[in-house]
Structure 1
Amino acid sequence: MQIFRIDATFERHEELLALILYAFSYMDGLIDPPSSAHALNLESLRQKIDDEIAFGVSDGERLVGCIFCKPEADCLYIGKLAVSPQTQGKGVGRLLLAEAEATARVLSLPALRLLTRIELTGNHRAFAAWGFIQSGTMCHPGFTRPTAIEMRKTL
């Protein structure tokens, strides 16, 4: 497994978009509202790469994981952490989160922050095992109930 920076030189946008959509597809019918991954297209993905700090993981020629990081005032926000279902459980997510931690340290940011949907209790457990602690809840626009939990990891 090899980790690399996804930046303006990256040329595998179709493969990256397919990875994100495939990795997030298990959420279809489980979460409400649907994942924002469905709003991604090649143009918006290119913009996301320009606007955020992204990393990918390859296993030989195949792209098997990615993470997008966005600096905020007091933390590094983690978004679109995606791991191919065939390689889940093999350390790809841990490798990507370690790169996010290293990035936060370089940027002198003391924590990582992410959102995970209320319904995805397996994700809550996985992030807790990686040192994240629930720090709040949020409601998506148009909802009166919490739809996601915020989790933070102090570095």
Structure 2
Amino acid sequence: MLPFKLDKIDKKILDILQVDGRITNAQLSKDIGLSPAPTLERVKKLENAGIIKSYHAKLDTEKINLGVSTYVMVSLKGHNRSNIEKFIKAIDGVDEIIECNHVTGSSDFILKVIAKDIPSYQKLMLEKVSEIEVVDSMQSMVILSTFKDSKKMPIPENK
């Protein structure tokens, strides 16, 4: 499958929607210099092509009482399909694990975990994550501060 060809207007739409997914079609059309109907058509085309996957509300974790964020490097007892599938199935039911990446290097996965506080985090790790039968070892890194948290993707040039 060939990559989707994005023109300048598509890229501008993507840049704007990544910053403000709630922008009205009328305002978006003004910002990109098209009338509302073709603007909506382009957005629908980007959604249907799977380039725009979803729209989200970004929450303030402190205001909803989730004060501890960590990255956890996880190694499995064996790096095979069965263990990977068991691990993924087990963590899928853990709401506090908000991101899971299969990686190369000294660990098999890196998880992003969010919890109310350190005792809640410790309980989660002891009672849920470390109890997953295929988990061999874990190493946690508590996030002290976040200086950049951009969800905006750079749109590469077509060649």
TM-score range for the pair, normalised by the shorter chain length: under 0.3
TM-score by length of structure 2 reads 0.25
Larger gyration radius, structure 1 or structure 2: 2
TM-score by length of structure 1 reads 0.26
Which of 1 and 2 has higher RCO (CA within 8 Å, sep 6+)?
A: 2
Higher strand share: 1
